[in-house]
Chain A
Amino acid sequence: MRARRGIVTFPLLAGPLFAAMLLFAGCATYSDSFSVIENDMAAQRFEAALQELERQRHPARDQVVYLLNKAMLERMKGDFTVSNRTFEAAKSRMEELYGLSLREQALSVVVNDATRSYAGEEFERVLVHLYIALNYLQLGDLTNARVEALQVDERLREITQKLPQNRYTEDALARYLTGMIYEERGEYSDAMIAYRKAYEAYREYRRKYFVDIPDTLKRDLLRLAQQMGLTGEMQQYQNEFHITHWMSTAELAQQGELVFLLHDGLAPIKREHAVTVVDPASGHLVRIAVPYYETRPTPVNRVRVMAGSSVASAEVAEDISAIAFKDLETKMPAITARALARAVLKAQMAKAARENARQQNQNNAGAAVAAMAVEIAGVVTERADTRSWLTLPSRIHLARLPLPPGNYAVKVDLLGDDGRIVSTREYANIVLRRGAKTYLSLHWIPPYVPTRRSR
C-alpha cells in the first residue's frame, strides 16, 4: 500500500520514462534484428527474406528503412515493377520527412536518437533513384528510367546546396548511369554533361574512396567528345587516358550492348558502442551510446563476364561501404554531442527525482523506488541509432560488352583474392538488340557468419 502511494505521489517522471523505456528499450537496436534476413539473402531465398521482413514490427519512424529494404528484396526477387512501387512509397515518405520535427528533436534529446523518424542518409537518398532507374532499365522502359535520371540530378543539386564540399555531394555511378540513359536515347549533349560530371565525381572518388575511373567511362568520354566535335576536349582525354582506339558512335549504334552490374555483398551495418559508468561526483549512472559501422567483407576480388566469344572484366564503379564509413565519420561529432547532451539531461532528471523523493518523506519507499526507476529508465533508454539501408550492396561492379545483335548465353565468374572462382552464374537467352543496351544485374551475398550481437 505504501509503495503504491509512493508512486502515485511522484508519478510525473516515473510514468513517462517507464513508458519510454517500454517503447524503445524493450527490443534490441534496429540492426540486431536483421541477421535472419541476411542469411536468407545469402541463400538467395528472397521470398523468405521478404516474409521475415513483413513479420517484424516496423514503427512509423522506421518506415523509410522498411520500405527501402522491402523494395530491394523485391528487386532481388526480380519483381521490378513491384519494387519500383515500393521505392516510390519510400521516396514520398522521405519527402514528407523534409521538415524538422520539434517533437522528435525533443525526444531525441530526452530518450535517444532512434526515436527520430529515419529519412535516409544522403547517399541512400541518391541510390534510391539509381535502383529505380535500374529497375526500369531491366524492364526495358528507357523513358521512365530517364525520369529517374532527371531526379538524380535534382537530388544531387539539393544535397550540394545543403552540404559543404567535403561531404558526399556527388555520386559517380548515378551520374554515369544517367549518361548511359541519355546516350541510348540519342540525347548526346545531355549524355556528355552527365559523363563529364561522372568523370569529375570519379576523380573525387579516387581521392576519397580509392575507386578509379572505369575504363568504359574513359571510352564514353572520348566517343562523345568526338561525336560532338569537341576536338580539344577529345585530345585532352586522349593525352590523359592514353587510349588511341575506341568505338565511334556510328560503330556502337550497329552493335548491341550488354551492361552487367554485380551488386556485391552487403553495405556495412551500424552497431552500438555504449559506455556505462558511475559518475563519481554524483553517484549517478551515466550511459552514452553511439553507432559505428561494422564491415561485412566480401570475398569477391574480380568479376569476369563472358558472352559469346567476348570476355570482359567488371570494374568497381561504386564503393558504398567506403561512402558509408566516410559519411558516418563526418556526422560523428554531431551524434556524440547529442549523446552527451542527453547524458547531462538524464542525470539531471534522475537527480531531481531523488531530491524530490528525499523532500517528500524520508521513509517513503515508493518515492525512492520511483526515483530509482527514473535513473534506470534514463540509462536503459540510451541506445544508439543503428538504422540504415541494410540491403544495399557493399560495392557495385560494372562491365559493358558491345556485341553484334543476337541471342547470347552469358556466364559470370566471381573470383576471389587467390584467383579461384567463388561463384558462377549462367544466364541463357540474353537478347541484345541493335543500338540498345541490355541491362543485367546480379545481387550476390556471401554467406556471412552469424552477426555478432552488440553489448
Chain B
Amino acid sequence: MGFPFRVDARLVSALAIFLPALFVAGCGTSVERMDTAEVKDLSGAWNDTDSRLVSEEMIQDVLSRDWLLEFTRKHNKKPAVIVGEVLNLSHEHVNVNTFTADMERALINSGKVQFVASKGERGEVREERKDQDIHAAEATRKPMGQELGADYMLKGTINTILDTSGSSQVRYYQVDLTLIGLADNVKAWVGQKKIKKLVKRGNLRY
C-alpha cells in the first residue's frame, strides 16, 4: 500500500509552524458601554433597536389620533387603559414587555391617559390591601372595591414572515397593537409597525 502522491517537506514544515499558532489564539473579556440609541445588530434576531422602533412609532401614533380627544370630550375625564396580552405569533421568543412598558410610560407622562395595573401586577397590590385591612391604622387603611376600572385594553400581536435561501434571509416583522373599548368592544385605535431586515450569514468563520 504505497501512497499515490508526495508532499513537499517545506510545505509540511510550513504547516507545522502554522498549526501550533492555532492553539494559542485567545483573548480576554472586554466591555464597552454603548448609547442605548445606537444600532448594533449582531445575529439579525429581534433586538433592542426593533423594540425601540416599535415603541417610538406606536407612541407617536397613539397620541396623535382622535380617539383621545373624543373620549375626553364625551366623558369629561382621561381614559384609563390596561395592558392586556401582546401575543407573540412570531418564530422568535420575543420579549414584548419592553415596548409595552415604553408605551405605558409615554402615555402616562403625556398626562392624557391613565393606566391601571395589569392582571399580573395587581395581585401583589391586592394582597397588600388585604393585609392593611388587618394591620394598618384606621386613618391610613385603603378600602377594597375602590379600584379604577379600565376603559380600554391594549392588546396586540407580533407576526413574522421569513424567506430564506442559502445563507441569506429576509426577516419581516409586523407588530399590531389595538385599543379595545371594554364597554363596547369597539376598537378605538390600531397601530402598526413593520420592520424588514436582510440577514446574511457568514459562510466562513474562525
Contacts and interface: CB of A to CB of B under 8 A. Distances in A.
**A and B are interacting partners:** yes
Interface of A: 12-13, 15-17, 19-20, 23, 88, 92, 95-103, 106-107, 110, 143-144, 146-147, 150-151, 153-154, 157-158, 161, 277, 279-282, 286, 344-345, 347-349, 352, 355-356
Most chain A CB atoms below 10 A, which of B1, B7, B20, B166: B1
A110 B88 contact: no
Contacts of A355: 9
Contact of B6 (A161, A348, A356): A348
Contacts of B166: 161
**Which size class do B's interface residues fall under?**
35 or more
B88 A13 contact: no
Contacts of A143: 87-88
A19 B16 contact: no
B7 A345 contact: yes
B91 interface: yes
Given A13-B12, A13-B13, A144 B205 contact: no
B192 interface: no
Contact of B90 (A13, A99, A150): A150
Interface string B7-25: 1010011011101101100
B126 to A, nearest CB: 23
Contacts, number: 95
B3 A344 contact: yes
Nearest to A349: B12
Contact of A103 (B3, B4, B22): B22
B202 interface: yes
15 contacts: A12-B17, A13-B16, A15-B16, A96-B205, A102-B204, A103-B22, A107-B22, A143-B87, A144-B93, A161-B165, A161-B166, A279-B2, A282-B3, A348-B6, A352-B12
B2 A281 contact: yes
Nearest to A17: B16
B206 A101 contact: yes
Interface of B: 1-7, 9, 12-13, 15-17, 19-20, 22-23, 43, 87-93, 160, 162, 164-167, 201-206
A23 B91 contact: no
Nearest to B21: A16
B167 to A, nearest CB: 7
Contacts of B204: 99-102
Contacts of A349: 7, 12
